[in-house]
């Protein structure tokens, strides 16, 4: 004899397992697309290639080439001799709205 509490636990366990498996498969597809991304060189042909693409956007590509920092290169605090640059910094602020029903922002 199975009690209703055991059925509830079994059902919720199956539901959570299904949800986590769905999220895992979705992220696995994104990782596969990134790993299969074409490798392009940073050269004079790159702007023409981007403008010829659909929506003027290349979804996943790996760019190879030499870049120069605008001011100074960023150095890693954790790995000696590792440097990097930031291509674009995007700051997005979300507007807070008071929810009077939940009494929260």
Distance CA 33, CA 38 (A): 10
Can you give the residue range of the structural domain that contains 2? 1-35
Is residue 62 a part of any domain in this protein? no
Question: Is the predicted pLDDT of residue 74 greater than 90, yes or no?
Answer: no
pLDDT tens-digit series, residues 30-67:
899 888 888 888 888 888 988 898 888 887 788 888 87
- According to the model, what pLDDT value does residue 91 have? 66
Question: Is the predicted pLDDT of residue 89 greater than 70, yes or no?
Answer: no
pLDDT tens-digit series, residues 11-40:
999 999 999 999 999 999 989 988 888 888
- According to the model, what pLDDT value does residue 9 have? 96
Is residue 11 a part of any domain in this protein? yes
| Number of structural domains in the chain | 1
Is residue 7 a part of any domain in this protein? yes
Is residue 6 a part of any domain in this protein? yes
Is residue 24 a part of any domain in this protein? yes
Distance CA 24, CA 7 (A): 25
CA 16 to mean position of chain CA atoms: 23
Is residue 82 a part of any domain in this protein? no
Give the global pTM: 0.47
- According to the model, what pLDDT value does residue 18 have? 97
Is residue 14 a part of any domain in this protein? yes
Is residue 100 a part of any domain in this protein? no
Are residues 60 and 32 in contact, defined by beta-carbon separation less than 8 angstroms? no
Question: Is the predicted pLDDT of residue 6 greater than 90, yes or no?
Answer: yes
């Amino acid at each position: 004899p199975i009690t209703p509490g055991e059925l509830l636990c079994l059902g919720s366990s199956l539901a959570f397992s299904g949800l986590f498996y769905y999220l895992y498969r979705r992220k696995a597809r994104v990782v596969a697309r990134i790993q299969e991304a074409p490798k392009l060189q940073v050269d004079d042909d790159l702007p023409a290639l981007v403008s010829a693409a659909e929506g003027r956007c290349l979804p996943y590509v790996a760019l190879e080439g030499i870049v120069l920092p605008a001011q100074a290169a960023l150095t890693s605090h954790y790995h000696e001799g590792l440097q990097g640059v930031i291509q674009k910094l995007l700051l997005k602020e979300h507007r807070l709205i008071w929810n009077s029903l939940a009494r929260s922002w």
